[in-house]
Structure 1
Amino acid sequence: MRLIYLLAVLAAMAQFASAGVLASRFNYSTGSTYHLLESTTWTASQAEARRLGGDLVTIDDLDENNWVYDTFTPLVADAGGLWIGLNDVANEGAFEWVSGEPVTFTNWTASEPNNSGPQGAENFAHIVTKPFLNFVLGEWNDVADNAAMRYGVVEVPGFIQNGSFETPDVSPGRLFGFGDSIGGWNVVSGNTAFLIDQVTNTGEPVDGNQFIEIHGDTIQQTVTGLKVGQRYKLTYYATARTLPDYFGSGSIIATIGGETDHYDYFLPSGSYLYNSPVSPWARRDVEFIAADTTASLTFSGTAAGPLGAIDAVRITAVPEPSTAAIFLLGGMLGMAIRPKRNASAITRPLVK
């Protein structure tokens, strides 16, 4: 019986770890991860956003607005709107982002915001996803704090600069050496870090147009904005290619927060293909707990063997368990470990 309870505890933990999230997408243009939540109120959506390590989305320009609309609207056919972080709860008419970022872009539909509706004060903004009156799809409207088939979009900011290696723009490629900066990355050892542009090379990056090779090199970036004690996940993609004199075994080593990940590869001499990764891109995930608000992230490539390459580097916060999950876990663990009563020790009343 105790085993059954323990299995139930594990199942409950898995359920609550993803409760409320319908889909997640990463935007390489903004460097943020976005989560689509189940339909609920703006207030409940924002509470879930904080648990996930972010806020309801702050939209900085039309490109981001269109990306959010195009990405998530098809996933919820019945959506009455997508909650965003804009609100005027503190001061009527003075809309502000819940993230605290300044309002530099708005996309209100005609005659909005008007704080006029049948359900009371309209203090919360959403992206219009369903035809109604003269509203333009993809623009914004203010509404009251009710579910009404509205789905929150959470933005969890990224912590990596130039994780897709799109800066600087190179064609066909460019070597970087010790002391050079590569759009937020620093070459701290070696002289052959090679930024490659897929336009003139047959290798295809995971995202964007460029990726970087590190062969006997180490690149480093100081990650900032971490929360002490929070668990984070480093994700990156790795591959390797050969040249006539570069084959055999090699490794890429990622290090952050006291954790290390090795991507090991082997390519025989006959696998040579000019300027093309011949090993499929492999996704790598490394979790670490922040001991400080900053952490040093390094990638090192061995000098011998094929040419190792990386792309699509990002760090995201691992969501904390919800309060409900904690209470459920505590209760079920209590039931699981409670000593079984000894029937022989039970004192029964005497029957006269």
Structure 2
Amino acid sequence: MSITVNGSAPAGADSPQPAARPPAAAGGGGINVPLQLPPRLGGRPITTLSASSYELWQNCEEKWRRRYLLGEREPKSPAMFLGIAVDQTLGWLHEQQIAGADPEPGDVLKAYGELFEASETDRRETRWTDDEPESMIRAAGVRCVEIYLEQMLPLIGRPTATQREIEVRLHPACEWSIKGFIDLETVRDEPVDVTDKGIVIPAGAKAPSGQQVIARRPEGEPAINDYKVKTRFISAGEAAGNVQCGIYVLDRRLRGEPPVPFVFANLVRPGGNRNGFDGRLQLTERTDAQLRGVMVRFAQMANAIVERVEQYGYEQPWKFADPRQTFPCRKRFCSWAASCPGWSGL
């Protein structure tokens, strides 16, 4: 699986000669991609993009400018801190399993408490609110870990790697790359069934109401897994369009390995219209055509970053988020809203 990406340096820069050209994708053609990204204010180079930076770019280019070009730090939200604490705990669990141990639920919950306490800097930098104080988030994390152990661990498969770094380069001469860390890689020791909504259930179990089993995933199948803690379930459509999934599967394909299923270990907590906790495994897959689309998306983003710097520079605001969206253009979700011209005016 490959795509033609024609390297080009930003305007005004010397253009280094590409080391090689990837073979043409099906149908031929290609897309130009800058070999360097504009440096941060102060001159430090931008050498990586990621799924989170792509999502931020799609939501609000102005917020992207302030974070990645100007280097302004934004306080963590309680939801972000919760996700980090749960991710670290589940990573600890699977690291222990890979090492040959079999932690009891009490051991995992003890590790959660210790990791929560150890994140002193993150706790101090989190913008706690009356609606989501630290004590509430701590308790929510305990329940999320319990649900993972009870409902999801038996289906997730045998862990083979945690937090493996991946890197995708759109052209050999590019001085920047797309990077990420895979939460968990597994191999199934037992088959599981998947419904028409992409929900993973035990083999032979009754499908949830309104769904039907459409496939049985075999024993021995590898999978890429990512932990998500939210106030609602990820839909099948959202999973199908998630760029993070595309990057992680793309890494395998560019190394000549077959694609594998991507599974969101989706834990939900009270918030919005939800009153309780729950969890499920949401499976999605990618075709080679979709993976080529991921590469094109990042090439387009890189080109747009260069164009914004040329057009607006570093100090003028860039494109704002759509104010009709509940997220991200609200003071509750953005600590920069009060100083953002898109919210408060010039």
Give the TM-score of the pair, scaled to structure 2. Answer: 0.27
Name the structure where helix makes up a greater proportion of residues. 2
Give the TM-score of the pair, scaled to structure 1. Answer: 0.27
Name the structure where strand makes up a greater proportion of residues. 1
